[in-house]
Chain A
Amino acid sequence: MLEIKGVGPVVGSKGLVSFTTIGAAIGTVIPGLGTLIGAAVGSVIDVAINWKDKKKAKRKMKKALQAALIQRYHNTIFYSALQRMNEAMFYLVELGLKPGTLDYDAALRKKLFSEIGYEGGCSVKLYGPPPDRPLIAHIDKEGKVIASSGYVTQDLPGQWKQACQELHQATLKAWLEMQADEINFKKELQKEDLDAQKSLITRVMVNAGAIILLVAYSKRQKKKLKVLNESV
């Protein structure tokens, strides 16, 4: 329908000129009755168009509400995938795999491919649950959004790579902490061993000193005894 920008439609029940007016104007060809009939026909058209508009608005609103529900569902799938990835990554770290290595990424892919569609290197083909399995987002290794369901919040797929990298950093930090803990444990064991060795050496030295003193004393007495025996 003809519309003036910023003003609204030219013709119609909400327009500048209603169909009732147009009908009445056309009806003036037959003065009196013609105007009445023309206006009546025009007003029926106005009401019909208005009714149609309302129905359209209702349909549009219903669709928008449904879209909001689908968006909530798709967003939940997106967040669930990240939550799942987080725990799985920490589990692999606990198994002793170092984040950032090829082995780690291969293990992560093996664990998460069937669950969330993780393809390795932060690339993902995210699907919803069966039976319909809607494609939520397909994101490549560079973080480029190749395909999206259109329902998931617009800037979410773009944030996948950043979230994935942050998870990798967090797991790497956890791995380093684990390694540091292991080194500390070994250091403590060595320290314990060294301390025990030191205390043993000290004890041996002190006791050996005492034994040497006693042996020296015994030798001296033996000599003294020899001298005494000779003098007698």
Chain B
Amino acid sequence: MSRFNNLGQAPTVVASGVVNSALDVYSARKLGKMQARFVRQLASDSVKMEYVQFLVDRFRILCEMIVSTTDVDPSSLGFQAMLKEGMAAYAKYDGNCKGSIKDPTTKQVIGDYFRDGRVENTTMPKETGLIWSTGCKNALDAARIAYLREDKDEDRFAVVRDQMTQLGNRDTLVRFALWGGIIFSVLIALKMQFRVIKATSPHKKKRHKKKHKN
């Protein structure tokens, strides 16, 4: 009887084994696919983040360029307008770190980025919002630093120029006075010398004698 019992159990053991194995394989494949999709997403996110970082770098260079080639204050509206123009090929920059980034190939807007790190209307990863906002604010601060340094350099240059002018003026005055003194004393010396020569010349002595005889 127990032999029959075992026989009765066998098909169900086999069937459940087959079903469970199939389930294992199916589940493993699903998990594998999920993992692969995740890895693909990470890679794609990484490319997108690198692109936004590239834009931030470009933005920073543009800021530095404007500061070094113009006198525009980085806190002014004029500076923002110049940035708007400079970034036009890559993004529709609205000023104050707000803008819409364009796809590098299709030139279509791929996301709206805000100063506070928000990112809207996009398939880009959320991190790109942080990369943009931090990079943008840092670039503007770096521009302000460069502007202050340039301002300081200009102030120093003015101080040096003033000092040089002052020293130059003093030098000219002293030179003039000294040369005046030298010329005057040379003239006096020459005058005295001529008088002495005149007094000691024999012709003069003869005339003197004649005068005394008469």
Contacts and interface: CB of A to CB of B under 8 A. Distances in A.
B13 A51 contact: no
B149 A94 contact: yes
A61 B195 CA distance: 120
Contact of A204 (B27, B127, B174): B174
Contact of B196 (A28, A211, A228): A228
A147 interface: no
Contacts of B26: 54
A218 B181 CA distance: 14
Contact of A214 (B4, B126, B186): B186
A214 B117 contact: no
Most chain B beta-carbon neighbours within 10 Å: one of A42, A65, A221: A221
Contacts of A221: 189, 192-193, 195-196
A34 B148 CA distance: 92
B138 interface: yes
A106 interface: no
Interface stretch (B64-72, B84-92, B99-107, B159-167): B159-167
A218 B174 contact: no
Given A128-B117, A224-B196, A46 B16 contact: yes
A129 interface: yes
- Interface SS of chain A: helix, strand, loop or mixed? helix
B111 interface: no
B118 A228 contact: no
B202 interface: no
A54 B23 contact: yes
Interface stretch (A3-11, A80-88, A97-105, A157-165): A80-88
B34 A46 contact: no
Contact of A203 (B8, B9, B116, B178): B178
Nearest to A224: B196
A214 B31 CA distance: 109
Contact of B171 (A192, A200, A207, A228): A200
Nearest to A37: B8
B141 A36 contact: no
Interface in A134-179: none
Given A36-B9, A193-B163, A221-B189, A58 B134 contact: no
A91 B134 CA distance: 15
A62 interface: yes
B118 A229 contact: no
A11 B162 CA distance: 95
A191 to B, nearest CB: 11
A27 B42 CA distance: 53
Contact of B5 (A24, A87, A115, A229): A24
Contact of A31 (B5, B20, B27, B131): B5
17 contacts: A13-B16, A35-B4, A43-B15, A43-B16, A44-B16, A57-B27, A57-B31, A58-B31, A76-B130, A80-B133, A80-B134, A94-B144, A129-B126, A196-B170, A196-B171, A208-B178, A232-B199
Interface of A: 13, 18, 20-21, 23-24, 27-28, 31-36, 39-40, 42-44, 46-47, 50-51, 54, 57-58, 61-62, 65, 68, 72-73, 76-77, 80, 83-84, 86-88, 90-91, 94-95, 115, 128-131, 185, 189, 192-193, 196, 200, 203-204, 207-208, 210-211, 214-215, 217-218, 221-222, 224-225, 228-229, 232
Interface of B: 1, 4-6, 8-9, 11-13, 15-16, 19-20, 23-24, 26-27, 30-31, 34-35, 38, 114, 116-118, 126-127, 129-131, 133-134, 137-138, 141-142, 144-145, 148-149, 156, 159-160, 163, 167, 170-171, 174-175, 178-179, 181-182, 185-186, 188-189, 191-193, 195-196, 199-200, 205, 208
